[in-house]
Structure formats: C-alpha cells, structure tokens
C-alpha cells in the first residue's frame, strides 16, 4: 500500500468504520507517519461534531455520585496536595517554639488519621470487590477461566469469572506496569473469528487489576480469553503481543 | 493559526487539574459535558443502564488519563467525545449481531419519535450539524450514521444495505468530506 491508500482510510477510521484488519494496518502506518496522524486528528474534530446530532439527555444523578465515589477511593488521589497556604507567613505568625511543636503534633495526628481513613476506604473497596467476585462465582452456572502469563507477561495470572448472562469480572495479578498512555485490554476469541474487544484496565503498582465486563454472547459457550497491551482508549483489534491467555 | 476559544482554555485548565488529581475539576468537567455525552451514548446503546455505565467508565478514564490529553492535537471536546464514543462503540460491538440489529431497529423507531419532538430543543450547535446532515443525499448519510451511531464497519454496512463494499466506502468518504466542508470554520460554535 502507498501513502495515499492509507490517507483514504482515515475518514472512515475517524468514525470507527474500518474492520479489524484495516485498523491494524492503518495503526501501523500511523506510528511512522506524522502527516497522517495530523490528518486523523483533523478528521476526529469533524467526527466529534456529529455527537451533537444525538438528542441531549440528562443522565441519572447517581452516575455523578458513583464517579466521584470511585475516584475518591482511587489510591492515586493521594497525590492531591491538601494545603496551599504560604508556609513562610504561617511560621512567622506562630511566634513560639511551643506553638510550633503543638502544630507539628497536630499535623502528625491529622496526617495519621487521613492515612488510616484512606487505608480503611481502600480496604472497604477491596472487600466490596471480593464480595462482588464471590457473588458472581456462586451464581448458578457461573464459569471461571484461568489466564496465565505468556512470555511477555511471565509470572502474571488472572481469573475471569462470568455468569450465564455474560456478567463478568476479571481479577489479574503480577502484570507488568503499563507505560503512559497504555492500558491492558481483554479479548474474547471464538474459533477463527477476529477477537472481540473487551474493556481496558490499568493495574496498580503491584500489577493487580480488577475489571468488570460483559462476555459477548458468542463467547459464552466456548472461547479463549486473552489480555493485550493497547492504547489507553482500547483498540477494536489487538495491536500487541498477548500478556495473559486462558487454555495455556 | 486558529485562535483558541475561551471555553477550550477553561477545559484545558480543568484537564490539567484533573491530571493533578483534583476531583472538583472532574466534577466540573462532568457537569459541563454529561448531557451531550450521555445523549451520544444513549443513541449508540439505546439502553439507559448501559449508557450510564459507559458514561461512568469514560469519566473514570478521563480521571486516569487526563495527562495524556495533548492540546496540540485537538480540542478537549474532541478528546472527550472520541473517548466516550470509543467506549460506547466497544460496548455495542460486544453484543451479538442479532442484539445489535434489534437495538438498531428500536432506535429507528425512537428516532422518528424524537425527531417529531425535537422542535422543543433548538440549539445552534445541533442545528448546524443536523442541517449539514440533512444536505447529504441519503445514500451518503446512511452509511455515516450506521458507522457513527451503530458501530458498524464498512463491511457490515455493505451487508446491511445490500450494496457493494466499494460503493459504501466511496459514499461514506464523499459524505464525510462534504460534512467537513460544511462544518469548516463553524466548529467554534460548538461551545457547550
């Protein structure tokens, strides 16, 4: 294929109309072609405008609540800097060593409380996930698939539990850290057909990741489950080696 | 170089704050875009529960990936729509062909209803896009809508419409190029 052939594919790519093989070919070209990447960015602006053709609809207020609860449980929230006051003015205004010691003690106590509170929240979140996993695994007809690390994901393991309706939960451990802008993505492989994309997830620093997903109907009876490393937004077809797969 | 819109600058600052894990900034961004993104996801998924689930996933991804936003590559609105739509399309593609057909059928009925009721909603932005779409011949508009809102690939659209794949590709490309021309210079109006 020549450069113009790839350029012709870009408008369709912006509306996700390419099939898996075309997407893979174009993505490989985009990695090395600044001009086509720029063109895709421009076409995505046009494509985004189409979103307003959909009728605006108000979601339930519970969605906002769920998002904010989730991010407040996110361990990365610990990066927030809670105090923004000017330290020089603060110390100057105290005026005595005793007061400084009292304030230091107070701050230590508060920090300790915050740490305990966060640990408690994290433990509650872990417990909630464990309960959810347990509920799913005890659903009548539920299946559990064991995924093992391949050469690139050596040492990693995962379990995918799913019920007869396809409600699924993946629990992974010891996965390699993901580079910036990447995420792991689950795939459902049925026979010789192109893999069906699942959701993406980013594991914590220990390589642990938990994700809920929906097993597509064709994959409920017999499928291979695999995990690859993809761009953060996920891919419609795998673009990397398999890190985890079932049936190994 | 096109001047930046004040709203874009505000959104860029919000994304920077989100990247620094400021949850209040995420709440502001959510409040600004929830209606348009949820409308888009409802149009794709035609199911409130699934659309809310995907909307939640999309904003959790914004929380985790805000640092990846590159203002040199596009506007925050484009980034958000691309991210949310991508997750919506991924979700709809996990459905079996029969389920997707059923959803598309249900949507065609609801489209007729919502079109009849849409007089109540007149926004400049929506008007610009729907006017542009209305100017496209149906043979060009249909493949674009099937791809954008139903998540069908060109091969699937060719099967659905009973048209040769090459014809579908040409019509879609021609339609998209016309849309781009019609919307060129008007994207500044997309201020939400």
Domain around A46: 3-53
> β-strand A196-201 against A182-189: which pairing, if any?
antiparallel
B13-58 pLDDT, tens per residue? 999 999 999 999 999 999 999 999 999 999 999 999 999 999 999 9
- A167 is written with which tokens? 């409600």
Find the CB nearest B63 among A57, A59, A71. A71
Judge: A11–B177 Cβ closer than 8 Å, yes or no. Answer: yes
Residue B140: half-sphere exposure toward Cβ, Cα within 13 Å = 15
Residue A201 and residue A159 share a domain: yes
Q: According to the model, what pLDDT value does residue B122 have?
A: 41
Instruction: Count the Cβ atoms, other than its own, within 10 Å of residue A62.
Output: 10
Last residue of some domain: A136, A167, A198? A136
Residues of chain A neighbouring B77 (CB-CB closer than 8 A) = 48
Instruction: Report if pTM > 0.90.
Output: no
Q: Is the pLDDT of residue A117 over 90?
A: no
Give A98 to chain B, closest Cα distance, Å.
34
pLDDT at A150 over 80: yes
Closest B-chain CA to A211: B57
Number of compact structural domains in chain A: 3
Residues A126 and A73 in one domain: yes
Mean pLDDT of A168-179: 91
User: Cα separation of A57 and A49, whole Å?
Assistant: 17
Given a cut of 70, the residues of chain B with pLDDT beneath it are 1-9, 96-123, 185-192
Identify which of A18, A45, A50 has the shortest CB distance to residue B74: A45
Domain-terminating residue out of A88, A117, A136: A136
Domains of chain B: 1-94 (1.10.1740.10), 98-192 (1.10.10.10)
ipTM entry: 0.84
| Residue of A18 and A123 predicted with greater confidence | A18
Q: Are residues A160 and A236 in the same domain?
A: yes
Q: Are residues A132 and A149 in the same domain?
A: no
Shared domain for A157 and A241, answered yes or no, is yes
In a shared domain, residues A239 and A148: yes
A114 has a pLDDT exceeding 70: yes
* Higher-scoring residue by pLDDT: A78, A205: A205
- Could you tell me the pLDDT band of residue A141, with boundaries at 50, 70 and 90? confident
Please state, in angstroms and rounded to a whole number, the distance separating the CA atoms of residues B100 and B105. Answer: 8
Last residue of a domain, one of A85, A104, A136: A136
Chain B residues within 8 A of A14 when measuring between CB atoms: 176
Smallest Cβ–Cβ distance between B23 and the set A19, A59, A72 belongs to: A72
Q: Is the pLDDT of residue A17 over 50?
A: yes
């Amino acid at each position: 294929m020549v450069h113009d052939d790839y350029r012709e594919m870009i408008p369709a790519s912006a509306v996700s109309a390419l099939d898996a093989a075309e997407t893979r070919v174009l993505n490989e070209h985009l990695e090395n072609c600044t001009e086509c990447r720029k063109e895709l960015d421009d076409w995505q602006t046009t494509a985004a405008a189409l979103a307003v053709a959909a009728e605006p609809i108000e979601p339930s207020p519970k969605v906002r609540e769920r998002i904010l609860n989730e991010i407040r449980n996110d361990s990365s929230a610990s990066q927030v800097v809670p105090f923004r006051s000017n330290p020089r003015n603060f110390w100057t205004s105290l005026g005595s060593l005793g007061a400084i010691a009292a304030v230091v003690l107070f701050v230590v106590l508060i920090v300790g409380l915050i740490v305990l509170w966060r640990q408690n929240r994290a433990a509650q979140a872990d417990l909630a996930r464990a309960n959810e996993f347990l509920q799913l695994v005890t659903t009548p007809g539920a299946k559990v698939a064991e995924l093992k690390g391949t050469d690139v994901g050596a040492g990693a393991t995962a379990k995918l539990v799913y019920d007869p309706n396809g409600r699924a939960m993946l629990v992974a451990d010891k996965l390699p850290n993901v580079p910036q802008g990447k995420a792991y993505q689950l795939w459902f492989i049925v026979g010789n057909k192109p893999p069906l994309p699942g959701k993406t997830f980013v594991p914590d620093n220990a390589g642990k990741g938990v994700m809920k997903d929906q097993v597509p109907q064709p994959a409920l009876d017999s499928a291979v489950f695999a995990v690859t490393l993809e761009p953060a937004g996920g891919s419609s077809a795998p673009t990397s080696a398999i890190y985890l797969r079932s049936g190994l | 170089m096109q001047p930046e819109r004040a709203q874009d600058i505000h959104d860029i600052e919000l994304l920077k704050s989100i990247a620094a894990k400021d949850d209040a900034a995420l709440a502001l961004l959510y409040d600004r875009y929830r209606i348009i993104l949820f409308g888009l996801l409802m149009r794709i998924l035609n199911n409130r529960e699934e659309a809310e689930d995907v909307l939640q996933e999309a904003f959790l991804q914004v929380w985790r990936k805000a640092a990846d936003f590159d203002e040199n590559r596009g506007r925050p609105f484009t980034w958000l729509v691309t991210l949310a739509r991508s997750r919506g399309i991924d979700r709809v593609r996990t459905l079996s062909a029969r389920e997707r057909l059923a959803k598309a059928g249900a949507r065609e009925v609801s489209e007729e209803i919502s079109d009849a009721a849409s007089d109540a909603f007149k926004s400049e932005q929506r008007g610009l896009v729907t006017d542009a779409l209305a100017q496209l011949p149906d043979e060009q508009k249909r493949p674009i809508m099937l791809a954008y809102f139903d998540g069908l690939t060109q091969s699937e659209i060719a099967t659905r419409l009973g048209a040769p794949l090459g014809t579908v590709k040409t019509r879609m490309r021609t339609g998209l190029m016309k849309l781009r021309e019609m919307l060129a210079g008007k994207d500044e109006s997309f201020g939400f």
